[in-house]
Amino acid sequence: MNISKRMFQFVVVNPFRRVRHNPCCTFVQTAHASTGGAKSLQLSHRSLVRVCGSDSGTFLQGLITADVSTLRDQHTLYSMILNAQGRVLYDIILYHRDDNDQLLECDSRAAADIMKHLKRYALRAKVEISSADADHKVWALFPGCHGDSSHSSDSVFPDPRLNEFGTRIVTDSSTELLNSKYGATGATIDEYHAHRLVTGLAEGVEEIPVARCFPLEYNLDLQRGVSFDKGCYVGQELTARTHHTGMVRKRVMPVSLGRSPKDKIPTGSTLVNDKGKALGKLICYRGNIGLALLRVKESSQENVFLKEPTDSEQLQVFPHKPNWWPSDLIL
């Protein structure tokens, strides 16, 4: 997959010394400065689900991790839908239209399942659940720049996961019209994913497998996607207990591969230290940058390798601490 020569140059020119600062995010700033402006992309891999009706707010409040009561003021929320065991079913971004009308952005491959899941809980609630893809599309405006919300036909939202990542725009505009409004140039899907992986944001059912992950390991607490005082929701008990006991030993973080592998690395491949002890797993990669779920403490102190050699050689993996992590999460 063609990420970009600049991404590859990042690997070549850096000797991957273990340093305190985050070279991964230093690269992001350098790359952004060189592009000279915003890039836009219609996210065809993302869908919109409409949840409307007089009970829509209270209905969603009992099903997602974020506090829906703050949506009117914040306009957009990042959140997750969990199962009863506290494992992640779906990651979502929620957009406020009015008190009785919300749009829910999700992985397109999960949209039908999400609608079925919501309808299962609807019972007698006064809500209507339907696809909104025919009327609106989701766009990303990046890097960390914010669109002009004065365009009345568009709904412009700083990305709630991390405002510096960029902007989400919900609109029916064409590519040419949207780019002229915001002074942007067209981006490729590879550029979007490269920007996202370097920043350290996981997204969609491939990177967040259904019913196999825990929300705090995916940094939901650091991305303002969970409320610990809003009351009950499906999966709340385990999530709250994990938070209050401070037992989040593993977290998803950006990683650089020591070289670009010729052979495809299977999703979920085990990552180990020098002695072969498991430290976590590789979630995904594109080119030589990716995401991994790693033990935070150990991965900051030990060398990390792919357990199974690739191309007949051992592959070293270099974790990077995102600059949006709290300083006490040492790496």
Q: DSSP secondary structure string, 286-310?
A: ETTEEEEEEEHHHHHHS-EEESS-B
> Stretch 210-214: mean pLDDT, rounded?
96
- Phi first, then psi, for residue 101 (nearest 5°) are -150, 110
Determine the Cα–Cα distance for residues 316 and 299; give it in Å rounded to an integer.
12
Instruction: Tell me if the domain spanning 40-199 has CATH number 3.30.70.1400.
Output: yes
7 has pLDDT over 50:
no
pTM: 0.86
pLDDT recorded at residue 263? 83
CA angle 213, 210, 235 (to 5 degrees): 60
Residues of the chain with CATH 2.40.30.110: 5-18+249-319
Residues of the chain with CATH 3.30.70.1400: 40-199
Burial annotation 172-211 (CB, 10 A radius, 16+ → b, else e): ebeeeebbebbebeebeeebbbbbbbbbbbbbbbebbebe
Say which CATH topology domain 5-18+249-319 has. Elongation Factor Tu (Ef-tu); domain 3 (2.40.30)
- The model's pLDDT over 242-269, given as tens digits with 9 standing for 90+, comes to 988 877 899 999 999 998 888 889 989 9
Helix (H, G, I), strand (E, B) or coil at 8: helix
Q: Residue 61 half-sphere exposure, CB side, CA atoms within 13 Å?
A: 16
> How, if at all, do strands 39-42 and 185-186 pair?
parallel
pLDDT, tens digit, 9 for 90 and up, residues 111-149: 999 999 999 999 999 999 999 999 999 999 998 755 554
pLDDT of residue 313: 83
For residue 203, what pLDDT band results from cuts at 50, 70 and 90?
very high
Length of the chain as a residue count: 331
3-state secondary structure of 193: helix
